[in-house]
Structures are given as structure tokens and as C-alpha cells.
A and B are shown apart, each in its own frame.
Chain A
Amino acid sequence: MADNPEAMPECDSESSGARSRKPASNTATEQSDPPEGSMFECNICLDTARDAVVSYCGHLFCWPCLHQWLETRPNRQMCPVCKAGISKDKVIPLYGRGDTKHEDPRERLPPRPPGQRSEPENSAGFSSFGLDGGFQMSFGIGAFPFGFFASSLNFGDMRPASPQPGTPQSEQEQFLSKVFLWVAILFILWLFLA
């Protein structure tokens, strides 16, 4: 930012103007008004979001505020801003650096839903599932057919991120696993007969 002198004045006038109202020590000023037009206001209490969570549709809330909203209408849960579907499991907690100084917000009531951490996918792309399966099959049959048989039964569970049922991906996967199953059974029969 500092390298670009052109961008400075505009950026500065907005943020420093807002910041100058807040002294550097933030302990005494927690109750003061947030800067006008702050991007980090909770959409429900209109105050700076505390124990912040963000919905999948991108809207920011205090967790206690959103929790109360969801409790108010348990059978029609929607985002208070855009009315997209929303639920306890469909929000992401935001952990700012300053958070660690305070007690863990999840220990307070209501507990904030935990963050979900999924492993990064090493091979992106739609068809990679099919290729993966094909590789597993030939390896399994070659090395240890019974092991493969077992693993193909656990197919869905073993995936770190198994696709939602009903999507083309999961249909494709189910089809493949059925094919592998039959190949394995035929292979075993052939072993016995041979």
C-alpha cells in the first residue's frame, strides 16, 4: 500500500478519519460507537460484530445475535439479510488475532459452531474421481483382492470429501463402485474355479 502514493490519500482519509476517534488502547473504548459505515458491523445488532460468524452467503453477524435469530424461527431458518437458507452448521466463525486475549468464545453460551478444516485437494477436476478409482482397482486386484473388496465396501466413508448424494459425481462414483464390486466377485470366483 505504502508503495503506491496515488492510492494513499483516498484510503487514508477514510480509515484514519474513523480511527482517530478511537484511542490506541482499545480496553477503555470497547463501548464506543464503531466507525461509521464499518464493514464489520453485525447485521442484526448493527454494532461491531463480537464472536463473529459469517454465513455461506457472506453476511456477518455476532454469534449470539444469529443464534437468537435462528432460535426465534426454528422452522424457517434464513439469512436475516438476503434470506438465503442458513443454519448453525452453515456459518463459519471468524478468529481475529485479538481474539486470543479473551476467553474462548465457544465456552460461553451459546457455543459458537466450530470451524471446519478440510484437507486441501491435491488433484482438482471433475473426472479425477474416476481415474483414482481405476487406479485403486488395478492395484487392488493385482496385490490383494480381498483387501480391495473390503475397501470398496467402505468406498464412501474413506473419501475425505465425498460428494453429496444425488449429484452426477456421486452417481458416477456409485456406478464405478458397483462395477468394481462385480469385477472383484468374478475375480474371486475365477480364483476358486481355477
Chain B
Amino acid sequence: MSNIAVQRIKREFKEVAKSEEGAKCEIRVELVNDSFTELRGEIAGPPDTPYEGGKYHLEIKVPETYPFNPPKVRFITKIWHPNISSVTGAICLDILKDQWAAAMTLRTVLLSIQALLSSAEPDDPQDAVVARQYKENYDVFLKTARFWCSCYAGAPKQASNGFEEKIKWLTDMGANEQVAIRTLSSSSWNIEKATEELFS
């Protein structure tokens, strides 16, 4: 790894820790190995979103050519969001691609991802299924995103929408729980549709 990359990551570490957002535990980074090539990020779900109360872990891979090329970031924590793959955690965000600028830092990247959670762009989706639900059935989208947040990101459980019962019904039939949640979410919690997709 180039000297400038290591130097920068070290500085950016301090920057995140000292930042206002870092002090409020809204963003965090930690090392995964000693070589500074892989980091673990954490962002808090922003208030007034279905992600509120959740803690989201991110995989951050620092390329050899950092900061001239962007870090590779993906969600480890599962999330239901039009611009984030519900399967792989891949993020569709311009600053992580062609809008990257060398003056951006881990702090600005984490804050941009946090901002993406507050303002989805369903017309430029990463996950087409989620994006369609967002546009066609926003209420179900909100409930599903909220459910995933309590399921995977540690947010407190909310009033049941009958989701648990539907999941149990499918797992009793032999489906894997994660697969059941994904299939039900994708079919907007239509149990017939989900059953058909899983067992036919």
C-alpha cells in the first residue's frame, strides 16, 4: 500500500474519532488488519427514517491507489433500501464511483452513506425490487425497511404487522428464515405469492 494511502487513513481515523458525529456515535471506523487496507465502518440509522435506532456495519476496502480512487464500501448489515442491494449490500452512490474526489475522507463517505439512508433515489436503484416497492407501495416499503432494521440492525421491535406469523408459516414449511424474510419482503408480504415462489 502506498505511503500516502497509509498516512491518510491514519489521519482520517483521528478525524472520524474527533468529529462531532464521531463523538455522538453516529459514525465510527475501526481497523480490521494492521495494513490499513480493510476497515470496518459503522453508521447510525438517521432519525425520522425506518432505519432509526439501527446500527449498520460497513465493509471498507482501501485500494492501493487511495485517495486517487474511492474506497470500496458495502453494507455488511442487511438493509432494505432502493439504492443498496438487499442481497450483497452493494451501494449505488455516485461519490463511490465517478463522483469521487481525492479530498473526500472516510468521514465524508460515512456521512454521505448516512445521508443516502435519509434520501433514497428510487430512479437510480441498486435493488430493483426494493425500488419498485418504494415507488408503488411506499407504505409497505416503510414497514419492510423498519422490519429489516429491527431484524438485522438491532433497532427495537415495533408493533407487529403480522410479519412474524407469515415468516413462521414459511419456516414451518421448511424454508430458511432469511430466505423467507427476503421472499416475503420482495412479494410485499403476500403469503400466497411468497409460497408460490419458494415451493414451486
A residues bordering B, Cβ < 8 Å? 43-47, 59, 65, 68-69, 72, 76, 78-81, 83
Contact = CB atoms under 8 A, between A and B. Distances in A.
B65 A44 contact: no
Secondary structure dominating the interface of A: loop
A59 B102 CA distance: 12
Contacts of A43: 102-103
A37 to B, nearest CB: 10
Closest 9 CB pairs of A and B: A80-B102, A80-B103, A43-B103, A72-B68, A81-B103, A80-B101, A44-B102, A46-B11, A69-B102
Given A44-B67, A45-B4, A83 B11 contact: no
B93 to A, nearest CB: 16
Interface in B54-71: 65, 67-69
Interface of B: 4, 7-8, 11-12, 65, 67-69, 98, 101-105
Contact of B68 (A68, A79, A81, A83): A68
Given A68-B68, A69-B68, A72-B65, A83 B101 contact: yes
Secondary structure dominating the interface of B: loop
A101 to B, nearest CB: 24
Given A72-B68, A83-B101, 12 more contacts: A44-B4, A44-B102, A44-B103, A46-B11, A59-B103, A69-B68, A69-B102, A72-B65, A72-B69, A78-B101, A80-B103, A81-B101
B7 A46 contact: yes
B101 A45 contact: no
B16 to A, nearest CB: 13
Q: Residue among B4, B11, B65, B102 with the most chain A CB within 10 A?
A: B102
B8 A46 contact: yes
Contacts of B11: 46
A190 B104 CA distance: 69
B64 to A, nearest CB: 12
